[in-house]
Structure 1
Amino acid sequence: MSHGFMIKNRYRNLSFWRELVTATRFGLVGIAATSVHIVVVWLVLNQAGSNLFSANTLAFAIAFGISFLGNYIWTFRSPGSPRRAMFRFFLISGSAFLVNTLILTFLVHGGWFSPMMSAIFSAAVVPAITFFASRLWGFKYNGKDLDSVNAEMQNSTCDKEKALEP
C-alpha cells in the first residue's frame, strides 16, 4: 500500500467520524428542541386552553430559538455571520414548519390520531428535514462548513511544514 492511499483512507475515516459527531450533536439539539416543542404544545393546550394551531406556532417559535442557538454554537461551532446563519436557518425552519403544519392538519382532519399524537408525529418530522438543509446550506461558511475550512487550514500548515523539512 502506498503512503498516499493510507493518508486518504485515514482522512476518509476522520471525515466519517466528524460527520457522525456533527449528526449526533444535531440530533441531541433536535431532541431538546422537539421535547420543548411538545411540552409547550401540551402546556398551552391543557393549561391555557388555546387552540392547537396557536399552541403549535408558539411552540415552534420557542423550539426555533433553542435549535438555532444549539446548532450555531455547538453543532456547527459558530460558522460565519450569525445574522446570515439565522436568516438561512429561519428559511429552513420556516419551510420545515410549513411541512409540520401540513402534516398536522392532514392528521387532525383525517381523524387518525388525537390532536396531541398528531402534534407529536408532525413535530418529529422537523429535525430530519432541518439537518440535511442545515448541513448542506444553512450553516455553511463561504460555501464550506467550518470543519472543511479547519481541515484545509490544517492541511496547508502540514504542507508548509513538509516544505521546510530538509
Structure 2
Amino acid sequence: MNRAERIKVLRFGVSGLLATGLHAAVAMTLIMRAGTQPALANALAFACSTGISYLMNTFWSFSSFPALANVWRFATVSLGGLTLTALVAHATELAGGGPGLGIAMVVCVVPPVTFIAHRWWTYR
C-alpha cells in the first residue's frame, strides 16, 4: 500500500472514531436528557453520525466533493455496513461468543469492508 492509500486509511479510521463518538453522545443525550426511547435515539444518532461521516470522508479521507451520486453510494455502503454489523454480531453469538467478542469481530470486519467499498465505489 502506498503512502497516499495509508493516509486515506488513517483518515477513514479517525473519521470513523469521531462519528462513533458523535453517535454515542447524541444517543446518550437524547436518552438521558430528553427521555427518548433508545431505539429512536440511536436511529437519530445514526442519521447524525452518518451525515458527519459523509462530510469528513468526502472532504478529508477521500479528497472529494459532495455530489448526489456519492451521497447515495455513501448511504448505501453505510446501510450495508449496518447490516453487516448485525450479521457478524449475530453469527458470533450463534457460535457461542459473548458480546465483547461480537464487538471485536465487528470492528475487525466492518471498517475494512466499508473502506474498500467507499474507495472503489462511493468515490470512484
Question: Partner residue of 2:68?
Answer: 83
Q: CA RMSD in A?
A: 2.7
Establish whether residue 131 from structure 1 lines up as the match of residue 121 from structure 2.
Answer: no
Q: In structure 2, how many angstroms separate the alpha carbons of the residues matched to 1:49 and 1:26?
A: 33
Conservation of the 8 A alpha-carbon contact between 1:60 and 1:97: no
Q: In structure 2, how many angstroms separate the alpha carbons of the residues matched to 1:58 and 1:68?
A: 15
Runs of 4+ off more than 2 Å: 97-104, 124-130
Q: In structure 2, how many angstroms separate the alpha carbons of the residues matched to 1:43 and 1:127?
A: 26
Opposite residue 67 of structure 1, the aligned amino acid is S
Q: What SS does the aligned partner of 2:14 have?
A: helix
Shift of residue 101, structure 1, vs aligned partner: 5.6
Q: What SS does the aligned partner of 1:78 have?
A: coil
Q: What SS does the aligned partner of 1:72 have?
A: helix
Opposite residue 28 of structure 1, the aligned amino acid is V
Q: How many residues align?
A: 113
Question: Partner residue of 1:31?
Answer: 17
Shift of residue 94, structure 1, vs aligned partner: 1.5
- Structure 2, unpaired ranges of 5+: none
Q: What SS does the aligned partner of 1:50 have?
A: coil
Establish whether residue 18 from structure 1 lines up as the match of residue 4 from structure 2.
Answer: yes
Paired-residue identity, %: 33
Shift of residue 72, structure 1, vs aligned partner: 0.8
1:102-155 CA distances to partner (integer Å, 9 max, x unpaired)?
Answer: 649x98xxxx76xxx9xxx59x74544422211121111xxxxxxxxxxxxxxx
Which of 48, 64, 77 does residue 92 from structure 1 map onto? 77
Shift of residue 100, structure 1, vs aligned partner: 4.2
Tell me the TM-score normalized by structure 1. Answer: 0.58
Alignment map for 1:56-135 (pairs within 5 Å) = 56-78=42-64, 82-100=67-85, 103=89, 121=103, 125=107, 127-135=111-119
Alignment map for 1:42-61 (pairs within 5 Å) = 42-61=28-47
